[in-house]
Homo-oligomer: A and B are copies of this chain.
Amino acid sequence: MPSYRAPVGDVNFLLNQVFGIEKYSNLSGFSDLSSDMLDAILSEGAKLCEEVLAPLNRVGDTEGCKRHDDASVTTPKGFKAAYDAYREGGWIGLSADPEYGGQGLPYTVAAVVNEFSSSANMALAMYPGLTMGAIAALLTHASPELKQTYLPKMIEGEWTGTMNLTEPHCGTDLGLIKTKAVPQGDGSYKISGTKIFISAGEHDMSSNIIHLVLARMEGAPEGVKGISLFVVPKFLVNADGSNGARNGVSCGSIEHKMGIHGNATCVMNYDSATGWLVGAANKGLAAMFVMMNEARLGVAIQGLAQSEVAYQNAVAYARDRLQGRALTGAKQPEKPADSILVHPDVRKTLLTIRAFNEAARALVLWTALKSDVAHRTDDAKARQEADDLLGLMTPVLKGVLTDKGFENAVNAQQMFGGHGYIEEWGMSQFVRDARIAMIYEGANGIQALDLVGRKLPKDGGRGVMAFFNEVGGFIKANAEDETVKGLLGPLGKGLQDLQQATMWFMNNAMMKPDNAGAGSTDYMHLFGLVALGYMWALQIKALGPEKAEDEALETKRLLARFFMERMMPETATRLARITAGADSVMALSADAF
């Protein structure tokens, strides 16, 4: 049975020592957040995740969700009680607007709790996770009336939320959506169509389910410019806020998936269901994008979360498993064999995962803080700077953290030998659960295209220049600092490769966009390596020259060195692929594949 310990200490170090969260006290939600209070919140969240959510992870996988003949769906045993505990702790509204009952704490804190809960039980954490996304979309775009109707109960967790985008023939290309919305003259619409892959679409955890649905009104412009967003509750809401009649939306079936079995992934049938427009007509995609950006960061965090829990269990196994002897002679001669932790290849595998995890966690928090600044500051310049970097980094985090998170889960599973392949050990589930994060909320190829095609050229490259200046500035400013000196060479080389790749796109992709498409995924990973490397430099800088009392913190010096020696060099291969261009990629006729 796998176990999980939330990395509270690491988060405290990052938020207090590395990113100086006290500097943000001018922002709403940050002002009262002392480091003691932060620690108390995180410790409470950790406890819930470790003791309530984690023990149900295997149960969720083996039992899965069940759809009954009446189209109702039952979640795995224990899930409802665990969800209730989560909800009663106030975790769903942690960073939501206090006007509607939220606690108004920083999004950054919610992101941390998201990591903990996703490590503990990703399938379960998705129910509140999707609700938080729906809350964000309603908060930004819905009318005051809709907000008042839905937000308080969603923030409280009495009702949950979903997002309905995908249809059988389209996921990436939402311009092809066929679901129809017909105005009823009373401000409501009748929604009809079929949506697929709807996470938490139907279940037994909440008394109502609030669906956010993309649909097309008759006569709307073709493509994405004719899509509107609607709110469609499972039960219509009476004037007094109680549940009224059953709406015309139901679960047609649930999918048999590779993983996240505990989350009901539904085909949702809308049959003249009553819905209300959220935001302006035909501006549904923009409204949904509010939800998607936050959702993409949430998915990036899932990648990290699976990598973290897989690492913890792989280390525990490696420490206990006696097999063979160290290459340099027996290390535990009193035992029949040495622990496999003596083997360089095992150590290298584990260190690769951990050197990723601790940098990825830093990068998540660095980006989450940008999100908080972007949404909460009154300073226009600061907001724009934060928004630039948030937009730029969102696809990088989504693509890189989920690709590497999955890869790390696979490598952690490998440490178990044959036992890793046996479901009871739980490592297979981490791999299978982690796999979806590379696909949903925009498959990673789409993230790479978003980065290269949209985010890079946006505002004349203002965001990417800001990033280069920040990293380059750090390297310059710390050239003589003995604490980080050893890291700056490899970081500088990585930055140089990234800048060269960026330049290459500028020179070669304007006239021939396929050159950007052919290098997009490599560029995304190249960007990720530099960003993660920068996070290592920031951490070691914050650690300072003195030996840390905490062993885990002192270990960071080694991890930073390991990252620079063994992970950063990959930038060269990525650059070589990018500058190879699109010729050999595009030459083949479609028939010849």
Set of chain B residues within 8 Å of A170, measured between Cβ atoms: 323, 337
CA distance A350 to B593 in the complex (A): 8
Set of chain B residues within 8 Å of A341, measured between Cβ atoms: 590, 593
Main secondary structure of the interface of A (DSSP, over half): helix
Within 8 A of B (CB), among A547-576: 551-552, 555, 558, 561-562, 565-566, 569-570, 572-573, 576
A395 lies within 8 A of chain B by Cβ:
no
Within 8 A of B (CB), among A477-506: none
CA distance A552 to B576 in the complex (A): 27
Oligomer: number of copies = 2
A166 lies within 8 A of chain B by Cβ:
yes
Contact stretch, chosen from A13-21, A103-111, A298-306, A577-585: A577-585
Please state if A348 and B439 are interface contacts (CB–CB under 8 Å): no
Please state if A344 and B518 are interface contacts (CB–CB under 8 Å): yes
A10 lies within 8 A of chain B by Cβ:
no
Within 8 A of B (CB), among A99-157: none
A239 lies within 8 A of chain B by Cβ:
no
Please state if A561 and B590 are interface contacts (CB–CB under 8 Å): no
Within 8 A of B (CB), among A412-432: 413-414, 417-418, 420-424, 428, 431-432
Known: A173-B324, A323-B173, A517-B327. Contact between A561 and B584, CB under 8 A?
yes
- The answer, among B176, B438, B566, B587, for a CB contact under 8 Å with A558, is B587
A51 lies within 8 A of chain B by Cβ:
no
A172 lies within 8 A of chain B by Cβ:
yes
Closest to A490 in B: B576
Known: A423-B258, A445-B345. Contact between A569 and B561, CB under 8 A?
no
- Tell me how far the C-beta of A564 lies from the nearest C-beta in chain B, rounded to whole angstroms: 9
Interface size class of chain A, counting residues whose CB lies under 8 Å from the partner chain: 35 or more
A24 lies within 8 A of chain B by Cβ:
no
Closest to A326 in B: B514
CA distance A324 to B319 in the complex (A): 49
Closest to A521 in B: B345
CA distance A435 to B339 in the complex (A): 24
A225 lies within 8 A of chain B by Cβ:
no
Within 8 A of B (CB), among A335-350: 336-337, 339, 341-350
Within 8 A of B (CB), among A171-211: 171-173, 175-176, 196-197
A592 lies within 8 A of chain B by Cβ:
yes
- Tell me how far the C-beta of A54 lies from the nearest C-beta in chain B, rounded to whole angstroms: 20
Known: A170-B323, A319-B593, A327-B513. Contact between A555 and B348, CB under 8 A?
no
Please state if B588 and A351 are interface contacts (CB–CB under 8 Å): yes
Set of chain B residues within 8 Å of A551, measured between Cβ atoms: 591-592
List, sorted by A's number, 19 A–B pairs whose CB atoms are closer than 8 Å.
A171-B323, A197-B418, A258-B432, A315-B593, A318-B593, A327-B513, A328-B514, A343-B449, A343-B517, A346-B445, A348-B518, A348-B521, A417-B443, A421-B439, A555-B592, A558-B587, A572-B573, A572-B576, A573-B573
Known A328-B514, A344-B520; 13 more pairs at CB < 8 Å:
A170-B323, A172-B417, A196-B418, A258-B422, A328-B513, A339-B590, A343-B449, A344-B586, A350-B593, A414-B445, A558-B587, A562-B584, A566-B576
